[in-house]
A and B are shown apart, each in its own frame.
Chain A
Amino acid sequence: MGELMTANVLFYIFLILTLLFGLFVALFRSPLYSLLSLLGVVSCLSVLFYFYGATFISFIQLIVYAGGILVLFLFVIMLLKLQPEERGGEHPLFKVLAPILFFAFTTAGISILFVHRIKPVEYKFYVEMDEFSYKLFTDYGLPFEAITLLLLASAVGAFIIAKRKI
């Protein structure tokens, strides 16, 4: 019983932390700080995935997102020495539209949730790794191969686009 309660408390702590880091991503003007907040979001989300029973996905999230994708962003910010965005000069339309869309999305989403009455359920959810990978390589074999091709193509494409002289 005690263990379950600690797990619950930790879950809510990480939930709130994720939300805070998400707010920081949106509010920081400096690319570096925004990126570090996104790192916080990604790591907290991986902890949340662990609580939802998706252990493998939580580690993949940490390895690929935190260890791969965000490092790429960090490299670009570091190499180009990007300065914080200065105040003012926002697009007049989007300056109004962005907050409106933010509130529209949140209210619409939450009201849909409550209309559909998604009930809070108690569950014990654990993914068997062999089942998971069997599914990945049989039923979802084609998308898997497509993703690998996409990654290869994007690696070659990124190389060609960013190179000064080919």
Chain B
Amino acid sequence: MILEGLILSIFLFALGTFTFLYRRNLILMFLGIELMLNSANLAFVVFSAKNNNYEGLLFVLFSIGIAAAEAAVGLAIFISAYRSFKSAYIDYFKILRF
């Protein structure tokens, strides 16, 4: 059960990275980030189960809290960007570089 959980966690993290890099739609990139956070949660839970130590679960709690804060701010930024660029694609946000 331990090994399978860790392998799943690795796959989910890699899929999240793939989504984040490959997509240009900001919402899809956010979903990739959420997937990565979830895989980290899974790794925390699996390791705390392996070591029979519940302190890892506390970190899952913190990670979920951070994910909530990140989603709120990220989506607010997305909405205000969508309002000024009229598009969800990050190609249009290039002007922010200058």
Which of A's residues lie within 8 Å of B, judged by CB?
11-12, 15, 18-19, 22-23, 25-26, 29, 31, 34-35, 38, 41-42, 45, 48-49, 51-54, 56-57, 60-61, 64-65, 68-70, 72-73, 76-77, 80, 82, 85, 89-91, 94-95, 97-99, 101-103, 105-106, 109-110, 113, 118-121, 123, 125, 127, 131-132, 135-136, 140, 143-144, 147-148, 150-151, 153-155, 157-159, 161-162, 164
Contacts and interface: CB of A to CB of B under 8 A. Distances in A.
Contact of A118 (B3, B13, B38, B89): B3
A48 B42 contact: yes
Given A61-B41, A85-B25, A52 B49 contact: yes
Interface in B7-30: 7-8, 10-19, 21-25, 27-28, 30
Given A52-B45, A153-B69, 11 more contacts: A22-B35, A25-B32, A34-B19, A56-B57, A64-B68, A76-B78, A85-B89, A102-B17, A113-B10, A123-B50, A132-B58
A73 B31 contact: yes
Given A69-B71, A82-B88, A91 B10 contact: no
Contact of A73 (B30, B62, B82): B30
Nearest to A149: B69
Nearest to A49: B45
Interface string B70-95: 11110111111011000011010000
Which of A12, A41, A56 has most B Cβ within 10 Å? Answer: A41
Contacts, number: 224
A123 B35 CA distance: 27
B38 A42 contact: yes
A157 B21 contact: no
A79 to B, nearest CB: 8
B57 A54 contact: yes
Which of A35, A52, A98, A121 has most B Cβ within 10 Å? Answer: A52
B42 A45 contact: yes
Interface residues of B, number: 67
Interface of B: 1-8, 10-19, 21-25, 27-28, 30-32, 34-35, 38, 41-42, 45-46, 48-50, 52, 54-55, 57-58, 60-62, 64-73, 75-80, 82-83, 88-89, 91
Nearest to A16: B8
Contacts of A38: 31, 34-35
